[in-house]
Amino acid sequence: MTDRKATGTAGAVIVADGLTRRFGDFTAVEDVSFAVQAGEIFGFLGPNGAGKTTAIRMLTGLLPPTSGFAHVAGYDVARESRALRRSIGYMSQLFSLYSDLTVRENLELFAGLYDLSANQREDRIRWALATAGLEGRDDQLTATLPLGLKQRLALGSAVLHEPPVLFLDEPTSGVDPVARRAFWDLVADMTARGTTVLVTTHYMEEAEHCHRLALMNRGRIVALDSPGALRASLDSPILEVRSRDPTRAAALISGLEPIEDATMVGRAVHVVTRDEAAARARIIDTLAGAGIGLLSLERVRPTLEDVFVAVVRASGGVVAG
């Protein structure tokens, strides 16, 4: 769509201001404000229940906000949702194409729903098949596709009408790393051509693909910056402890002086401390005393998860929704 209206924030394609959604007494999204520029990949990162999906549903016009407002591609999401839907592509959290239709039938359906003209239609379907790597599988029932291909087909369907804005809600949940990589290459390709992408995720690895990230916890944005800047904002060093029994190790370590925080990250324990030397000594003594075999203890680059935990702790909150 070319007739974009002027927006409040200059050049921004997505603008949210004080966006809030309540369900009864429960506030799912509270006072969320941000702006996304054209061609940017903007991420919502947070645990399940942080309000990411509710936020994305408001931005796509599927759910009216309780208060606050948002403009997407120049349209007011609450009042112009009909017009808005022509300018956005949306890929919902669960795979939501028709599994009892073939690949081509699904694409034809969405081409019809997006009002593509007859000649546009065939071009775009061929493009989507090529992009998703599904050439020659037109007539395969969607149910029989591997998850990675399903996700790429869903992406292809969502952008058949070449929308300027694309919303991805947990796009690669459950997809293997290779397929995830391929999916993100596709997204990067689209943004290179000017598409603006807003993505929600709880995978740190996925978050690294974003130009800017909004860390969300309990319905609020607790930090907003580029992944690099967010990591740099963490001033305490991070020690990574690998041991034979990470669960017990984490429990023991988190009670020690001068350790501010100890969290499980995968099979390792990440420790935040201001006094690295003292912390190292205490950890080695404690694990040896408890009979837990220590495999390695080294200083690592903070992950986004470390940043997330630190930001939430610093703001006096609790992680989770």
Partner 1 sequence: MTFHRTLAVARKEVLQLSRDPRSLALGFLIPPLLIVFFGAAITFDVDDIGLAVWDADRSQASSRLVQAFVASDYFRVVERLDRYPDVEHVLQSGEALAVLAIPHGFARDLGTGGPAPVQLLVDGSDANTATIAIEYAGAITSAFSLRATLQGRELRPSLVPASRVWYNPSLESRNMVVPGLVAVILSILAALLTALTIAREWERGTMEQLVSTPVTRLEIVTGKLLPYLAIGVFDVLLAVAIGTLVFDVPFRGSLALLVAMTVVFLFAALGFGMFLSAALKSQVLATQFAMVATYVPALLLSGFIFAIANMPRPLQIATYLFPARYYVTITKAVFLKGVGFEVLWRQGLPLVALAALAIGATVAAFRKEVA
What lies within 8 Å, CB to CB, of 174 at 6+ separation is 147
CB 172 within 8 A of CB 180: yes
Length of the chain equals 321
Query: Are the C-beta atoms of residues 191 and 40 closer than 8 Å to each other?
Result: yes
Per CB under 8 A, the list member of 17, 22, 80, 101 interacting with partner 1 is 101
Cα separation, 253 vs 8, in Å, equals 49
| Separation between Cα atoms, residue 73 and residue 12, nearest integer Å | 8
40 vs 169, which CB is nearer to partner 1?
Answer: 169
Closest CB 206 distance from partner 1, rounded Å: 21
85 lies in the binding site for partner 1 (CB under 8 A): yes
Show the binding pattern over residues 267-306: x = contacts partner 1 (CB under 8 A), - = does not. Answer: ----------------------------------------
Q: Name which position in 29, 55, 77, 97 contacts partner 1 (CB under 8 A).
A: 97
Per-residue binding letters, 16-55, with partner 1 (x by CB under 8 A): -------x--------------------------------
Rounded distance, CA 49 to CA 218, Å? 7
Candidate list 40, 108, 170, 240; residue touching partner 1; CB under 8 A: 108
DSSP annotation of 153: H
Q: Could you say which of 113, 188, 229, 232 contacts partner 1 (CB under 8 A)?
A: 113
Q: Are 89 and 154 in contact (CB under 8 A)?
A: no
Q: Does 109 sit near partner 1 (CB under 8 A)?
A: yes
CA distance 112 to 135: 20
Element of type H or E holding 71: strand 67-72
Q: How far is the CB of 155 from partner 1 (least distance, A)?
A: 12
Residues that bind partner 1 (CB under 8 A): 23, 57, 60, 62-64, 82, 85-86, 88, 90-92, 94-101, 105, 108-115, 154, 157-158
